[in-house]
């Protein structure tokens, strides 16, 4: 027995039961995390939705036309927020509209947006499935 062992005592060694329990808990946590990631990543109820601004046209001091496309499964109703921006990227016009379901995966839309000041650009801000 060394001097340190005499002074502080020996640390008890891990029992076989404690080792098996520790490994089992680790495997259970790893399995649970893996199954959760798989479940979230392959959720069948999620619909893929993409929107893309194609362009804009300044009609006059109080109107801008925004051209954009939406890609979503055919027959899905979508709502989109479209906005007009000034040179400082401040929002000077905004409209929320419901797009009816279409037969195609991708549909193009032209939306007039009324503005409170001269806009320099217009874009689709966000779209979501309703």
| pLDDT of res. 44 | 56
Sign of the torsion formed by the C-alpha atoms of 98, 102, 108 and 110:
negative
Q: Residues 76, 129: contact at Cβ < 8 Å?
A: yes
Euclidean distance between CA atoms 52 and 71, whole angstroms: 9
Whether residue 5 has pLDDT greater than 90: no
| pLDDT of res. 45 | 59
| pLDDT of res. 1 | 67
- The residues, ordered by sequence, that sit 6+ positions from 100 with a Cβ below 8 Å of its Cβ are 77
pTM reported for the whole predicted model: 0.64
Distances (CA, A) of 6 to 2, 14, 32, 75: 6, 20, 44, 79
| pLDDT of res. 38 | 86
Higher pLDDT, 79 or 3: 79
Instruction: Write the pLDDT tens digit of every residue in 45-85.
Output: 566 899 999 999 999 999 999 999 999 998 899 999 999 99
Instruction: Write the pLDDT tens digit of every residue in 74-119.
Output: 889 999 999 999 999 999 999 999 999 999 999 999 999 999 999 9
Cα torsion at 9, 11, 12, 16 (round to 10°)? -170
Higher pLDDT, 16 or 97: 97
Q: What angle do CA 106, 46, 40 make, to 5 degrees?
A: 140
């Amino acid at each position: 027995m060394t001097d340190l062992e005499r002074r502080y005592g020996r640390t008890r060694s891990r029992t076989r039961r404690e080792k098996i329990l520790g490994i089992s808990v680790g495997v259970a946590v790893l399995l649970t995390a893996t199954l959760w990631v798989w479940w979230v990543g392959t959720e069948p109820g999620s619909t893929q939705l993409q929107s893309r601004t194609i362009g804009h046209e300044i009609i006059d001091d109080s109107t801008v036309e925004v051209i954009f496309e939406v890609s979503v499964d055919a027959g899905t109703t979508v709502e989109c927020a479209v906005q007009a921006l000034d040179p400082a990227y401040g929002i000077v016009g905004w409209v929320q509209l419901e797009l009816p379901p279409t037969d195609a995966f991708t549909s193009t839309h032209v939306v007039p947006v009324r503005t409170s000041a001269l806009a320099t650009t217009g874009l689709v801000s966000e779209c979501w499935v309703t």
